[in-house]
Amino acid sequence: MKRNSSKKESKNVRHLRRPFRSVGLTIESNRAVSEVIGYVIIFGIVMLAIGTIYAVGFPLLQSSKDATQFQSIEQGFLILQTDLFKVALDQAPVRTTKLGTAEGGSLRSDPDACNLTIEIIHSGTVDNHTIVMGNIEFNSRVGSVACENGAVVVKYQSGSIMRSKPRMFNSTDQGDILFSLVKINDSFSSRGGGIAQVTISNPRFNESVFNTPAVYQNGKLRLKVDSVYSDAWERFISDEFNTMFDPTTGWSVDIPFKKLVIVEYIVSVDVG
């Protein structure tokens, strides 16, 4: 029995229908639109990630870099303090300290930057002396660090702290107090971003307020510090000499002593 050939499509007819069927499917499909939307979404995610890096990542990296450089500068100022004392105490005639400075900062010396006022009451008299100490200071975006009166002090936005103490001692048991005051009498300025060479020397001339060493017996004294780092100075003096400061006047409470010795040292500084 033969099959009905009229019901069976010829191979040529089926072959002709396939291209039209394919064209119809391509026109009716949303696959191309979905691919475009996908590319747009991916591009948006990439651009958002790049924008986040520029807005958040780079400032964080710069802040971390600045903080690391500032810590290095602090260490350099501790070395500067050692050289300062060596020259002041006649252990070396000249010392040169290399300080790495950060870009955007400035290194300077100001002979009028720090004032220490001492009021001494002894033998029924009152002596009031204001000593202009001066300082060497570096300012940057992170904060500032300075060497004044032989101390290394650091200032941030939240306040200042003392990294290394000056030569100001209180012998509580014996009641003896020693002040070794280091004055800087020169000014200079230099932009940051390289290695600065700070030269410290002994000028060998006398500008002392006191006939050093000045010695006072059985009395009391008050202190006042005029400096941008005054809060760090007040904390140090309060701890070392067991006193407090009046926030209104800036003067300390009376500090008793059996013997008070004050010695002044003067150094010259230059930067190259």
Q: How many domains does the chain have?
A: 1
pLDDT at 117: 96
**Per-run averaged pLDDT (10 residues), the chain, 272 residues:** 49 51 50 66 74 62 68 91 92 88 84 94 90 92 92 91 94 85 88 84 76 89 95 95 93 94 92 80
Q: Does some domain include residue 39?
A: no
Decide the pairing of beta strands 195-201 and 106-110.
Answer: unpaired
- The H-assigned helical ranges of 98-153 are none
Quick check: is 146 in a domain? yes
Global confidence as pTM: 0.74
Q: How far from 21 is each of 16, 24, 32, 176, 245, CA to CA, in Å? A: 9, 5, 18, 108, 95
Fill in the DSSP letter of residue 89: T
User: What residues make up the domain containing 152?
Assistant: 72-271
- Which pLDDT tens digit goes with each residue over 96-111? 998 888 777 889 999 9
Is 219 a member of any domain?
yes
Residue 6's pLDDT is what?
A: 46
In a domain, 108, yes or no: yes
Express each pLDDT in 196-229 by its tens digit. Answer: 889 999 887 666 777 778 899 999 999 999 999 9
Whether residue 203 lies inside any domain: the answer is: yes
Is there a domain that residue 35 lies in? no
* Helix/strand/coil percent split, the chain, to 5: 35, 40, 30
CA Rg value for the chain: 37
What are the CA-CA distances from residue 266 to residues 26, 117, 183, 270 (Å)? Answer: 92, 17, 5, 14
